[in-house]
Amino acid sequence: DVQLVESGGGLVQPGGSRKLSCAASGFTFSSFGMHWVRQAPEKGLEWVAYISSGSSTIYYADTVKGRFTISRDNPKNTLFLQMTSLRSEDTAMYYCARETTVVPFAYWGQGTLVTVSA
């Protein structure tokens, strides 16, 4: 079974940094593009970033461009999101999601909560 397990969330001060991880199992990680999607408390879903299977293609939402970096370690089956210059509006549950050829978010992790507050 496909499993995605996020970690790394927690309380961060405004202006601080945090690195999220997503450990993948149950499939050939190096064959699939991956996304990060977030959801602020009591709000809707927001796509954050995408990385292709071989890291050659990367996209970001304008709200995080220049502050967040998506990366992956295929031999270690792990996806990352490095977040810097964090703001209160970055407070959210962060999900990693795996694509298929026709579904951008076919599989989701359980999420990791990032709270940006002094």
- Token pair listed for 59: 């996209």
The single residue among 19, 26, 85, 103 that binds another protein, judged by CB under 8 A, is 103
Q: CB of residue 58 vs another protein: minimum separation in angstroms?
A: 10
Region at 64 (left for phi over 0; alpha for psi -120 to 50; beta for the rest): alpha
Q: Is 27 in the site for another protein (CB under 8 A)?
A: no
Task: Pick the stretch among 7-15, 25-33, 71-79, 99-107 that binds another protein (CB under 8 A).
Answer: 99-107
Which has the closest alpha carbon to 81: 37, 14, 9, 21? 21
Task: Pick the stretch among 17-25, 74-82, 84-92, 108-116 that binds another protein (CB under 8 A).
Answer: 108-116
First-to-last alpha carbon distance for the chain, in angstroms, is 40
For 50, half-sphere exposure in the C-beta direction (CA atoms, 13 angstrom radius) is 14
Q: Is 14 in the site for another protein (CB under 8 A)?
A: no
- Per the listing, tokens 């461009």 go with 65
* Binding residues for another protein restricted to 40-69, rule: CB under 8 A: 44-47, 50, 59-62
Residues that bind another protein (CB under 8 A): 35, 44-47, 50, 59-62, 95, 102-106, 108-111
